[in-house]
Amino acid sequence: QGCTQKYIVKNYFYYYLFKFSAALGEEIFYITFLPFTYWNIDHSVSRRMIIVWSIVMYIGQVSKDILKWPRPLSPPVVKLEMRTNAEYGMPSTHAMAATAISFSFFLATTNQYKYPFELGLVAAFVFSTLVCLSRLYTGMHTVLDVIGGALISAVLLMLLYPAWDTIDHFLLTSPFCPLFSIVVPLVLCYNYPKLDYYRPTRGDTTTILGAAAGATVGFWLNNQYAAPAYTSKSFQPGFPLVASTMVLVLARFFIGILVVLLTRWVMKSAVLGALGYRYQFPIRNLEARRRLEVEVPYKFVTYSSVGFTATVIVPLLHELLGLM
């Protein structure tokens, strides 16, 4: 798993297109697009995407470690990525995430904003298709992995869609929401399927559930003590994009991302330092950081702080700076 085949790029258009498309199913996309939607488009759309994304990704990650289907053999396949090669293949969580995010965004906005239905449907299909094809191009999945991931995500989305309003109402109004949002993901993380040897799926799952937990607590807190969550002062698509609006949108985004990344760095250092002191290991010890009693609290606390910061601290900062 530590070596890779040498290869020669013959078509740079496809190479960069699918390398970029693959990144649309990774943390760099989640940590930019989902907060951007919350800060600049609509709170309810962002809430629905985050809930669907976390549920779909949890089921996908667990399914991998239960089914234990290997990834394509290399050779003959040339693999352009190494980190995800340590995981099993079926289903493709890139395909699941891309399908869930693109179509939940489409379904959440189609009844709220005026734009051609066909355009939204095509955009969602193109986005998910590019990500799915990127997993084949980079050699990380078989066709069956990708189709299976997309179909599982589509079924889950169809099952969740009728309950969207009910789930949303509970998460915004129930006094039990903060406790539910923290305890349930933690129980799922600590009871993740046992692995024959270490794979990054448990850590990635904890990251996703932690971020969703922090964001959900933020949604509830905003609805209880700040502006009602169903009303957004954010930019609404459909109006002319004047220069001042674009400056405002970009200012919100870059300031927000800076605060989010700073939160992640500070919390990661603080939590790892505390756990290192508790369990007596140097924070650079990778093997120690992979232990259950270290990995779960370290990633859960770090990324729940990121989710909370994105939904509570950053909007407060935007308002303080006059960017709302």
Predicted confidence (pLDDT) per residue in 286-298, tens digit: 888 888 888 889 9
Kindly tell me if the per-residue pLDDT of 234 is higher than 50: no
* Structural domain includes residue 265: yes
* Structural domain includes residue 307: yes
Q: What is the pLDDT of residue 85?
A: 57
* Structural domain includes residue 148: yes
As a residue count, the chain comes to 324
Catalytic residue set: 94, 141
Q: What is the pLDDT of residue 155?
A: 92
The total number of structural domains that make up the chain: 1
Q: What is the pLDDT of residue 242?
A: 58
Kindly tell me if the per-residue pLDDT of 33 is higher than 60: yes
Q: Distance between CA atoms of 18 and 167, rounded to whole angstroms?
A: 35
Q: Distance between CA atoms of 37 and 100, rounded to whole angstroms?
A: 15
Of 19-23, 181-185, 230-234, 283-287, highest mean pLDDT: 181-185
Kindly tell me if the per-residue pLDDT of 236 is higher than 50: no
Q: Distance between CA atoms of 121 and 107, rounded to whole angstroms?
A: 9
Kindly tell me if the per-residue pLDDT of 94 is higher than 80: yes
* Structural domain includes residue 301: yes
Give the residue carrying structure tokens 């965004």.
105
Q: Distance between CA atoms of 113 and 132, rounded to whole angstroms?
A: 28
Q: Across the chain, what does the average pLDDT equal? A: 83
* Structural domain includes residue 264: yes
Q: Distance between CA atoms of 41 and 299, rounded to whole angstroms?
A: 28
Comparing 130-139, 157-166, 227-236, 279-288, the range with the smallest average pLDDT is 227-236
* Structural domain includes residue 4: no
Q: What is the largest CA-CA distance in the chain?
A: 59
Rg (CA), the chain: 20
* Structural domain includes residue 35: yes
What domain range includes position 162?
12-321
How would you classify residue 234: left for phi > 0, otherwise alpha for psi between -120 and 50, otherwise beta?
Answer: beta
Q: How far is CA 136 from CA 20, 29, 122, 171, in A?
A: 13, 19, 21, 37
For residues 141 and 22, the answer to whether their CB atoms sit within 8 Å is: no
pTM value? 0.82
Q: What is the pLDDT of residue 36?
A: 87
For residues 100 and 56, the answer to whether their CB atoms sit within 8 Å is: yes
Kindly tell me if the per-residue pLDDT of 87 is higher than 60: yes
For residue 110, give both structure tokens.
């189609």
3-class DSSP state for residue 240? coil
137-179 residue pLDDT tens: 887 888 888 999 999 999 999 898 888 888 888 888 889 989 9
37 burial (CB, 10 Å; 0-12 / 13-18 / 19+) is buried
Percent of the chain with pLDDT over 70: 91
Nearest Cα neighbor of 248 from 197, 323, 189, 305 is 323
**Would you place residue 262 in the very low, low, confident or very high pLDDT band (cuts 50, 70, 90)?**
very high
Of 67-81, 125-139, 256-270, highest mean pLDDT: 256-270
Q: What is the pLDDT of residue 232?
A: 45
Per DSSP, helices labelled H in the chain are: 12-23, 27-40, 43-67, 93-110, 117-137, 143-160, 164-173, 177-190, 201-225, 243-279, 286-289, 292-308, 314-320
Q: Distance between CA atoms of 4 and 292, rounded to whole angstroms?
A: 29
**Would you place residue 243 in the very low, low, confident or very high pLDDT band (cuts 50, 70, 90)?**
low
Q: Distance between CA atoms of 57 and 209, rounded to whole angstroms?
A: 9
Q: How far separated are the first and last CA of the chain, in Å rounded? A: 48
Half-sphere exposure of 150 (CA within 13 A, CB side): 22
* Structural domain includes residue 5: no
CA 28, 31, 37, 39: dihedral to nearest 10 degrees?
-130
